[in-house]
Structure 1
């Protein structure tokens, strides 16, 4: 395993179009059923693996409205999809989103451990707490959990899952036909756990994988979210709008981890990134402007605006009246951090609702746009400034992903900041993470 710090890369498929990309499915290179086409995902995963990506990252949610982005309206369940990718790839990590709010630890532990064994140690779990408040109604609850409950439950959930993953010691299953011994009973451990949110007897009925246990991913920018990531995550998925803000987030997560007694180097920071490549910098900026214009519209943005506010419908308001600050109350159990930021910005600028939606639609030029050389240089600049440890690349228009893998990846390799071969067979080996000790 190389001792030199190197850029990590993840691929985040947007299918037929995620938030802000409602019209992505109009691209003739994107199958109209891409989000439920296992063949499309297999092809994308194999492209990413050929370019030596660390992982493919499947985002998920379990509540929709007719105004949800196309990819959300009709998509495959993450672990079912990743099981198919596990048998059609060999090295790339397979990361799936599962909520701690509406799953039980035993079920999550078993499903992820199964994927980890099927893939021979390439599974990862993106831990989320379900920001879409409407999810409660799909699971027999009248109300969604409040912020503190969601994050308290999440921390306990992950801890219980990790305990379940330690049910078997590594050599517990003897499988000795000569002696007739299949199990060393002394090396199988029940849990008998009782906590604030969960009660689990155990043990889990599946052995550890070659990487010990799945890699834990987490995304959340609130104070509770950052604390959760610093506490349990191996990899934190975030958003970094500038080098300076990326550095601030990087330092904050590492400092929180150290206060919790963790080694800061054991946490990898991977922001999401949009990348556009042209033959020249000017052409790449024109490509960025073109896709920004065609992939969304004001009407779609207005309909989608309420997602952070618990899918509150902003179409009921006068577009040219002052921004309806009272709508923030609907975000209390949803994506409150994002909703409050949007509200505060609207108030500070004296915006009408129309202006607030339009502001969200404005093109904010991405940092990673230009010729292949320009994009590679900028990626390296952010990496060496320790604003991040790598990038989760949003995969939208297919020709842009192909250009990245064919043109940018070789430059990163030539500059010595990206691998020329996989370091091993597991996700932990790719990411440079230690196998967790099976403490008893």
Structure 2
């Protein structure tokens, strides 16, 4: 069978470009309007994409730093993702639905209960974007003064996944005869107490939701630290990768795949999904005009705040159309990418404005300006040369950017035989090429997958 791309659509607020909310055809209040999310999901389903993706962090971040003008940005308010997925399941039929849930600020029984319920509601289309949390603002909303160290967060995440999957296995197949004649509703012999006692959790079980249609939901991760990559290789089914160039993409792809053998997993068990930010037009000039319009909507205060968020010092008071002064970058979440950006600034003698426009155009993801053929060329090269198994399409504005991608790029990918023309598989696990999940209590040949 020919290998095909996996494509996801992150419904990221109103789009990934900082100026997008100021466009007249973008709903400025869309983040709290269900119809905004429903329209994006329906567009993605029309394009036969594999899933839509809801990122989440339970905080309004960086309000304490006056050099970051959060009051001029749109990425603050959001709806709780699991509640939103339940609603989206009612207005879609085939597309996968992925929600972000942290293992640091939740309890596994609650998460297993919520995801199992959603998977029943959606008929086996739910995925879990597992995060451990990196923001101090989020930590402070859950009673912590600082972010828990990465090693501890990932240790907790491993145990968290074990507990959640164990709870999914509370009920064997056929555990619910619901036999009116005998009066037997469930077969006690096919019910299991988890009785987990670990470092972070003590959970008895069983789960009070019948085994979800997928049994174990697909787990998607992100991040590029050593701990994150190790966790991905050990436990994830897909990973949202950060790569501003194909060389970085290939290195990341190889790093994750090469770690998997130690866990007895084949390289294809993890799908690497690179972020791509397409500025798309029917002509290259139209695409460039769209980008230029968005760049013109970035207020200088916002642009300087973007630089602060990406490890640059406070540059207020400098001429934004003058050269970038000599700066020392702080250390933080974007170290590798900030270092690469500063090298480019020096190499190309970029101004301050040009520097923050580079971030807006594609900083940790790959930004591409061009026609459908141009975008497809890039995607095909990444897909065929070991940089990605698929892509999360990071539209600069929504819902229009999603419609452009579905109407222009998807047909080009289909023409090249790189993407499906019709949905085939029923569940998200199947669509991602995953083997059937097996209960930890399976003992007979009939219970094991072929």
TM-score, normalization by structure 2:
0.86
Aligned-residue offset at 1:17: 4.8
Tell me, in whole angstroms, the C-alpha distance in 2 between the residues paired with 1:111 and 1:439.
Answer: 21
Aligned-residue offset at 1:92: 0.5
Aligned-residue offset at 1:348: 11
Aligned-residue offset at 1:304: 4.3
Tell me, in whole angstroms, the C-alpha distance in 2 between the residues paired with 1:58 and 1:73.
Answer: 14
CA distance 1:289–1:349, shift in 2 (3 Å)? closer
CA distance 1:314–1:211, shift in 2 (3 Å)? same
Other-structure match for 1:254: 257
Residue 296 of structure 1: which of 295, 298, 311 is its match? 298
Q: What secondary structure, in the 3-state scheme, does the structure 2 residue paired with 1:183 have? A: coil
* 1:113 and 2:113 aligned: no
1:58-73 equivalent positions in 2, closer than 5 A: 58-65=54-61, 66=63, 67-68=69-70, 70-73=73-76
Other-structure match for 2:100: 97
* Contact 1:110/1:204, CA 8 A, preserved across alignment: yes
CA distance 1:170–1:278, shift in 2 (3 Å)? same
Aligned-residue offset at 1:252: 1.3
Aligned-residue offset at 1:299: 1.6
Q: What secondary structure, in the 3-state scheme, does the structure 1 residue paired with 2:185 have? A: strand
Aligned-residue offset at 1:95: 0.3
CA distance 1:369–1:344, shift in 2 (3 Å)? closer
Tell me, in whole angstroms, the C-alpha distance in 2 between the residues paired with 1:256 and 1:357.
Answer: 40
Tell me, in whole angstroms, the C-alpha distance in 1 between the residues paired with 2:380 and 2:104.
Answer: 37
Aligned-residue offset at 1:14: 2.6
* 1:53 and 2:49 aligned: yes
* Contact 1:54/1:93, CA 8 A, preserved across alignment: yes
Other-structure match for 2:374: 374
Q: RMSD over aligned Cα, in angstroms?
A: 2.7
CA distance 1:315–1:386, shift in 2 (3 Å)? closer
* Contact 1:346/1:356, CA 8 A, preserved across alignment: no
Deviates more, 1:383-392 or 1:47-56: 383-392
Unaligned ranges ≥5, structure 1 = none
Tell me, in whole angstroms, the C-alpha distance in 2 between the residues paired with 1:99 and 1:377.
Answer: 35
Tell me, in whole angstroms, the C-alpha distance in 2 between the residues paired with 1:251 and 1:339.
Answer: 20
Matched pairs, number: 422
* Contact 2:223/2:242, CA 8 A, preserved across alignment: no
1:319-330 equivalent positions in 2, closer than 5 A: 323=327, 327-328=330-331
* 1:195 and 2:198 aligned: yes
Other-structure match for 1:274: 277
Tell me, in whole angstroms, the C-alpha distance in 1 between the residues paired with 2:154 and 2:434.
Answer: 25
* Contact 1:57/1:94, CA 8 A, preserved across alignment: yes
* 1:418 and 2:419 aligned: yes
Q: What secondary structure, in the 3-state scheme, does the structure 1 residue paired with 2:75 have? A: helix
* 1:407 and 2:408 aligned: yes
Aligned-residue offset at 1:195: 1.6
* Contact 1:218/1:237, CA 8 A, preserved across alignment: yes
Q: 1:250-288: CA deviations, max 9, x gaps?
A: 111111112211121111111111112222234323433
* 1:40 and 2:28 aligned: no
* 1:395 and 2:395 aligned: yes
* Contact 1:323/1:356, CA 8 A, preserved across alignment: no
